[in-house]
Chains A and B, each alone.
Chain A
Amino acid sequence: MRETTALLQIKNLRKHYGAVEVLKGVDLSLNKSEVVSIIGSSGSGKTTLLRCVNLLEEFQQGDIILDGEIIGYQSATGGERHRLKDRELSRQRSMTGMVFQSFNLFPHLDAAGNVMLGLRKVRGMGKAEAREIAEKWLDRVGLLPRRDNFPSQLSGGQQQRVAIARALAMNPKLVLLDEITSALDPELVQEVLMTVKSIADDGATLLLVTHEMRFARDVSSRVVFMEQGRIVEDDTPEEIFNRPKNERLASFLKSTRN
């Protein structure tokens, strides 16, 4: 198998904040249309890993290869590494979509405006074309009737669905979902998870960090367990949840059932 068949390849990724090592050599690869959930206790580096892939964080060692292109750094293999210029980083970021725990919708734009901004400024579309695509995606997440509402007029679940539409409208190769239901009231979690499920069923490639174990089991093609900056186990949901090989994973799963 050639290396380039994976859509995303993370090789020996290391990151530290000062003396604190957050990622201690992470290897992970994702094929197209795969849905991979990262689970693990807080502080294990899950979110940091996702943020590195979206180039929101710098990292000190290792490569991230997205669709055959080394991202974030110039000459990452051997020799000196240079963080790429803002313009180049922006182009690479637009290949991935990110949905955040705290939604981060733009409060001064309505739902359609939130989805349209990237289409207009990054993809260079005209207003009519951008609006058409924005409305298609708002419809896809069930919020077309709310297109003129501002974020402050939407519930948390609706805001998160707009955020999903905003990410997906850019037609990213890979969508990163960072604990997207953690900030939601319990009764709003389901509508967001249903939206993600339907997008996964449509063949989107998803890498998600989640605390919703049932959802991870339900939607994922693979589940990855992280512990203290390392990937400890990487397997099918059945194996991870029914036959955990690692002791830490077993006790983690036990603790989440309470």
Chain B
Amino acid sequence: MDAFLNQLWIARWPLVDGLLTTLQISLAAIVIGTIIGVLVGVQLTYGSFVSRIPFRLYVEIMRGTPVLVSVLAAFYIPSVMGLSLTAKMAGILALSFFAGAHIAELTRGSLQSIPVGQIEAGRSIGLTFRQIVVNVLFPQALRSALPPWINTGVELIKGSSLLSLIGVAELLLNTQEVIGRNFMAIQFYVFSGCIYLVINIALDQAARTFDRR
């Protein structure tokens, strides 16, 4: 145990850096993913049949393929096309599109659970559709969308570990590098696992609290 604590102290900065990168990537992905998801979700709910097709396609592809495939695609495809993205940017891109698809679906689910009478009531007092979305539908959808939205955040924090495979120095990759120096594989993998666990349990707890209200 002493040996582990000793090594942990030596490895503290790479691990802290890794954790910060993990949080930074997850945060960026949830922000971008939420913007994509809300816009796509509104289209999926209220768009015409034809205008829904591309968005439906996007959501199905993202939900039907492993996140790792999107991560690798985001890493390799732009470079083939002559765009230079850093590994971190590619990773954020992939995770954002992944989150966007999930958030689009939960946005659609929340909006569809609102009775049509709410839209009609908004229309009858002369609100435009955009005003109805902002003032009538979103505030009501928020309640039911918040818990699954936080769950998407949990998925992102876990999913960000996949970026270790394209060389992003997040928590998992830095843990692996530390292990490469001190060979204490079990101790450090368990330690990193616990960090993921603590963050996600905390988020999950927050989701439950919102759910109860």
Contact = CB atoms under 8 A, between A and B. Distances in A.
Interface of A: 54-56, 86-87, 89-91, 93-98, 100, 102, 104-108, 117-118, 121-122, 163, 166-167, 170
Contacts of B127: 90, 117-118, 121-122
A104 B128 contact: no
A105 B121 contact: yes
B48 interface: no
Contacts of A95: 126
Interface string B116-140: 0110111111111101000110011
A6 B50 CA distance: 42
Contacts of A86: 128-129
A121 B131 contact: yes
A139 B79 CA distance: 67
Interface of B: 115, 117-118, 120-129, 131, 135-136, 139-140, 143
B125 A166 contact: yes
A94 B135 contact: no
B118 to A, nearest CB: 6
A118 B125 contact: yes
A121 B123 CA distance: 12
B122 to A, nearest CB: 8
B135 A121 contact: yes
7 smallest beta-carbon distances between A and B, as pairs: A94-B126, A118-B125, A98-B124, A104-B121, A104-B117, A122-B126, A108-B139
A89 to B, nearest CB: 8
20 contacts: A54-B123, A54-B124, A55-B123, A56-B120, A86-B129, A90-B126, A90-B129, A91-B126, A95-B126, A98-B120, A100-B121, A104-B117, A106-B118, A106-B121, A106-B140, A108-B140, A118-B127, A122-B127, A166-B125, A170-B126
Contact of A102 (B117, B123, B124, B135): B117
B123 A90 contact: yes
Given A106-B118, A106-B136, A121-B135, A87 B123 contact: no
Given A106-B136, A121-B131, A93 B123 contact: yes
Given A90-B128, A94-B126, A97-B125, 5 more contacts: A55-B123, A93-B126, A102-B115, A107-B140, A108-B140
B140 A167 contact: no
A122 B125 contact: yes
Contact of A117 (B115, B123, B135): B135
A50 to B, nearest CB: 11
Contact of B125 (A55, A89, A108, A167): A167
A87 to B, nearest CB: 6
A167 B139 contact: no
A56 B118 contact: no
A89 B128 CA distance: 8
A166 B124 CA distance: 10
Contacts of B128: 86-87, 90
Nearest to B140: A108
Contact of B123 (A56, A106, A107, A166): A56
A167 B126 contact: no
Contacts of B131: 90, 121-122
A104 B120 contact: yes
Nearest to B124: A98
Contact of B126 (A56, A106, A108, A118): A118
Contacts of B123: 54-56, 89-90, 93
B172 to A, nearest CB: 41
A121 B135 CA distance: 9
Nearest to A119: B125
B66 to A, nearest CB: 38
Nearest to A101: B117
A56 B124 contact: yes
A145 to B, nearest CB: 23
A100 B139 contact: no
B173 to A, nearest CB: 44
B201 to A, nearest CB: 30
A98 B34 CA distance: 35
B125 A94 contact: yes
Contacts of A56: 120, 123-124
